[in-house]
Amino acid sequence: MTTRMEATQLRSAPAVPPASLARLREALRHCSPDTYEAACAVRMTGDPASLHALVTGLLGNFVSGDLQHRLTEGGPGLRLAEDLGLDSLDLTELGMLSEEVLLVSISNEDLFAIRTLADLESLFERLLRSQLRPEMRHPADRTLRPAPLRGPLPDRAAASQHR
């Protein structure tokens, strides 16, 4: 079954492979359809307009049922640990899911520096801006450094043996 966002994306951006949408749907299988649509919108445009819906949708997987109302009612100052009950394992899992959904790499330092909902949204926005092609960035952001390389780093010991 194709959602509105998938149908729009397939019509407007044929360069996005359907397999990518299938992987995204699988990654977000425990999330609401609104979260999936927000993730598609963020991936398609890089526009942070859908970022809040994506962030709250992702967090919804890690917040217990009796605290869900805080997530929907809370503002940017909502604290992840104190107000929502997230622990370090939840943050690690949230980071892994976020990397898979946003196709970014999140450092442990960045991940464990997150204290509030605003911190998380700010991190995602920064990571997304660094991943955008230069022509998609806002003109003021075109000086951002390129995204880090993905994949394993070369082994220094092996490199020194070849000299």
Q: Is 73 exposed, middle or buried (0-12, 13-18, 19+ CB in 10 A)?
A: exposed
| The pLDDT value given to residue 128 | 85
Residue partners of 5: CB distance under 8 A and separation at least 6: 36, 37, 40, 41
Closest by CA position to 43, among listed 95, 94, 104: 104
- For 113, the 3-state DSSP assignment is coil
Domains held by the chain: number? 1
Domain span holding position 102 = 4-161
Question: Distances in Å between the alpha carbon of 146 and those of 70, 134, 141?
Answer: 36, 9, 11
State the average pLDDT over residues 53-76: 91
| The pLDDT value given to residue 2 | 46
With a cut of 50, say whether residue 40 has pLDDT above it: yes
| The pLDDT value given to residue 7 | 45
CA Rg value for the chain: 18
State the average pLDDT over residues 80-107: 94
The alpha carbon of 14 is separated from its chain's Cα centroid by a whole number of angstroms, namely 22
| The pLDDT value given to residue 16 | 58
CATH code for the domain in which residue 18 is found: 1.10.1200.10
Which one has a higher pLDDT value, 132 or 12?
A: 132
The pTM is what? 0.69
- Across the chain, mean pLDDT equals 78
With a cut of 60, say whether residue 5 has pLDDT above it: no
